[in-house]
Amino acid sequence: MKFASFTENGRSRIGVVDVSASCIVPLDPTLGDMRGLIERYDEVKARISQEETRIPLSDVKLIAPIVPPRNIFCVGKNYREHAKEFAGSGFEAGAVKGAEIDQYPAVFSKPPTTVIGHGDTVALHANVTSSVDYEAELAVIIGKAGRDIPADKAYEHVWGYTIVNDVTARDRQRNHKQWFLGKALDTFCPMGPWITTADELHPDNLEVKCWVNGELRQNANTKDLLFDIPTLIATISAGLELQPGDVIATGTPAGVGIGFNPPRFLAPGDEVSISISGIGELRNRFE
């Protein structure tokens, strides 16, 4: 199933999306938000299919499907060709030629204040950066808490998947010699349009595509991840309990703005669209 968060008549709701019919079926308001649904999913799953009210998607405003309870866990340089383009761009502090591929996953975070939804506007923050870039990524939604999760048990802890755009201020990423300040600006994590539950996807074989103003820039497949989802979950959960509603962004493929010569950063009025097979399309304008 596909679950979305939306607003209708000023109220925030969650519902099941019927993509073929372009409508949404609101769920019982007592479930609360998406995190509440995740925590009670096994209990309420049977009655979800009994809901009957259907609202056209055009009549509601989609919002971020989930605002995680704490920072989003993000992975850098997790596609080989992107690792090479980043190292050669001049924007990776401490890059060493010939050592572009890391031995261990590079993990950083984005605060919940970065999260916005499908159709929302991303702020370019021209007062603090002049090099805003896009990054199309598959994101994992944790459904079952766990610490020290072994890789062969990792998928037992996954509730679903969504799309994120790991928007980045490249100059801040380079100048501060770490990634947080370049990744953490308000509105820098568009997410959505909804969450597809884990039983509907094979996450190791999904097409990831990104367009800027209709021009295809990124075109890859999750089978090319250097560190797969079980490895990421095992790595991040080592000594750290993952909680229901946590989000893990798995990294972006080649084709970002810094991969061009000269770099092609985003400008006011640009629109970025990201699609991942089995999920949908996330679209946002930059101003």
27 and 165 assigned to the same domain: no
Cα-flanking dihedrals φ and ψ of residue 57, to 5°? -60, -30
pLDDT at 45: 86
As for how many domains the chain has, the answer is 2
Would you say residue 52 has pLDDT above 90? Answer: no
| Rounded mean pLDDT, 43-67 | 88
56 and 138 assigned to the same domain: no
pLDDT at 47: 80
pLDDT at 96: 64
CATH of the domain at 255: 3.90.850.10
Q: Give the residue numbers spanning the domain of 115.
A: 72-286
Would you say residue 275 has pLDDT above 70? Answer: yes
Burial classification of residue 173, based on how many CB atoms lie within 10 Å of its CB (0-12 exposed, 13-18 middle, 19 or more buried): buried
101 and 31 assigned to the same domain: no
pLDDT at 7: 95
pLDDT tens sequence across 170-180:
999 999 988 89
Report the C-alpha gap between 255 and 183 in whole angstroms: 18
Report the C-alpha gap between 134 and 30 in whole angstroms: 37
46 and 119 assigned to the same domain: no
pLDDT at 276: 98
58 and 86 assigned to the same domain: no
pLDDT tens sequence across 157-168:
999 999 999 999
Mean pLDDT of the chain: 94
44 and 78 assigned to the same domain: no
174, containing H or E segment: helix 170-175
Write down the pTM of the prediction.
Answer: 0.95
